[in-house]
Amino acid sequence: MAQRNAVIVEGLTKSFGKTRALEGIDFTVGEGSVVGLLGPNGAGKTTTVRILTTLIKPDGGRAEVAGIDVLKHPEQVRARIGLTGQYAAVDEILTGRENLIMFGQLYRLTHASAKRRADELLERFELTDAANRTVKTYSGGMRRRLDLAASLLVTPPVLFLDEPTTGLDPRSRNGMWEVIGDLIKDGTTVLLTTQYLEEADQLANRIVVIDRGKVIAQGTANELKNQVGGERLEITVPHGTDLERAESALINTAGQAALDEGGVQIDPVNWRLTVPFPAGAKGLPVAVRQLDEAGVTLADLALRRPTLDDVFLTLTGHAAEEGNGNGLKEDSEKAA
């Protein structure tokens, strides 16, 4: 046994009324590792985290966190976890420092220790200047950092980050990634949920892809990419190009592979089209000529390894960032 598991999930099921949020989820998180739970809205990510953090009870299955059975000893689990939710759960009316001291005391720190720890964390997350302002005045990124700090007051062995960057602007998101990256370097075990493939790729050692309450794939980012097969041909066309025409030209060029592996992905905002392209570099000259003959003008053309977006599309037949209607309420309503 190479390493102990900090989180064990076996056959978890959960329904909300008629909505089946989880249909039997299994995965593990090794001690000191970071696992990204990746899936679209409503896939069951938040439900899984809420079960593991003892906020709700599953209908079936079992789970262990830090070696403790979540259903049998929830109160012991709570002493060993930190949770940072999708919506910054800090008190707006209190200052940053007051929030951390209060949560520290609720984690049973003495007042003096809670105070000292609060100051350390404020410093670490660059909130010292804002420490005595009410949270109401904080930006989204500052709130998330404070929320994260609140889950680190007693250095929990297992940290749950439920969509830590949802709703943040790109700059704050990068800031959060840096902060989380540092935590990970320190050896904290993290279970992270995200609907951003880029985020899972960036932060997680292993990725568990879930969709409609089931695990549909897991492995390292590389393993998942390999599972989807070969390289992708990505073209960018000038604004105003007939995308349908470009699409059919691409299918012609890529051949059967395009249809077998998810077809052409179209990004109409960036005028970009992507298709599985097993022929690789050798096939490029032919591709360029065929596209030219089909009358498709190219602004850019590139060959690249599959991204997690491609993985998701191949595994589920739909893109990761669109909801799937099934159990959709669960994630979006959770904050209510």
Partner 1 sequence: MSEHTLTSPAGIATGAVSPPLRQVSRGQLASIVVDSALLAKRSLMRVPRQPDWLFGATIQPVMFILLFRYVFAGAIPIPGTSSVDYIMSGIIVQGLVFGSINTAVGLSEDIKKGLMDRFRSLPMPRSSILLGRILADLMLQVFVTAISIGVALAVGFRPNANPAEWLGAIGLMALMAFTLSWIGAIIGLTLRSTEAVTSIGLVWIFPLTFASSAFVMPQTMPGWLEAFAKNQPVTLIIDAVRGLWTGYYPQASSHTALYAVIWLVAVCIVAIPTAIWAYERRMAN
Is residue 203 part of the contact set for partner 1 (CB under 8 A)?
no
d(CA 330, CA 336): 10
Q: Which is nearer to partner 1, 89 or 243 (CB)?
A: 89
Cα separation, 76 vs 87, in Å, equals 25
Query: Could you give the CA distance from residue 204 to residue 194 in angstroms, rounded to a whole number?
Result: 10
Closest listed residue to residue 89, CA positions, set 133, 139, 147, 45? 147
The site map against partner 1 for 263-302 (x = CB under 8 A) is ----------------------------------------
Residue 88 engages partner 1 in binding (rule: CB under 8 A): yes
The position carrying tokens 């100051």 is 119
Kindly identify the residues of this chain, within the stretch 228-257, that bind partner 1 according to CB under 8 A.
Answer: none
Give CA–CA dist 55/50, Å, rounded. Answer: 5
Among 28, 48, 172, 188, binds partner 1 (CB under 8 A): 188
* C-beta of 130 vs 308, nearer to partner 1: 130
Location of structure tokens 């390493």: 3
Smallest gap from Cβ 39 to partner 1, in A, equals 20
- One-letter amino acid for residue 116 of the chain: R
Q: Is 69 in the site for partner 1 (CB under 8 A)?
A: no
For partner 1, the closer CB: 188 or 265: 188
Report how far residue 152's alpha carbon sits from residue 141's, in angstroms, rounded to the nearest whole number: 17
Q: Which of residues 5-34 bind partner 1 (CB under 8 A)?
A: 16
* Residue among 102 and 294 whose Cβ is closer to partner 1: 102
Q: Which is nearer to partner 1, 69 or 120 (CB)?
A: 120
- Whether the CB-CB separation of 53 and 241 falls below 8 Å is answered with no
By beta-carbon proximity to partner 1, the closer residue of 133 and 214 is 133
**108/245 with CB nearer partner 1:** 108
For residue 287, give the amino acid letter: A
Q: Which of 26, 56, 243, 279 binds partner 1 (CB under 8 A)?
A: 56
Which residue in 1, 75, 244, 285 binds partner 1 (CB under 8 A)? 75
Dihedral angle of Cα 54, 59, 60, 61, to the nearest 10 degrees? -20
The residue from 13, 134, 166, 252 that contacts partner 1 (CB under 8 A) is 134
Residue 223, C-beta contacts closer than 8 angstroms, at least 6 positions apart: none
Decide if 2 contacts 17 (C-beta within 8 A). no
Least distance to partner 1 from the beta carbon of 147, Å? 8
Please choose, out of 74-82, 198-206, 301-309, 310-318, the segment that lies near partner 1 by the rule CB under 8 A.
74-82
Q: How far apart are the first and last CA of the chain?
A: 42
Q: What is the phi/psi pair of residue 276, to 5°?
A: -60, 140
* 102 forms part of the interface with partner 1 (CB under 8 A): yes
Question: Is 152 an interacting residue with respect to partner 1 (CB under 8 A)?
Answer: yes
| DSSP β-bridge partners for residue 210 | 215
Indicate the residue among 29 and 152 with the shorter CB distance to partner 1: 152
The residue count of the chain comes to: 336
Unique residue bearing structure tokens 């604004």: 239
The binding site for partner 1 (CB under 8 A) comprises 16, 50, 53-57, 75, 78-79, 81, 83, 85-94, 98, 102-103, 105-110, 112-113, 116-117, 120, 134, 150, 152, 154-155, 157, 183, 186-188, 335-336
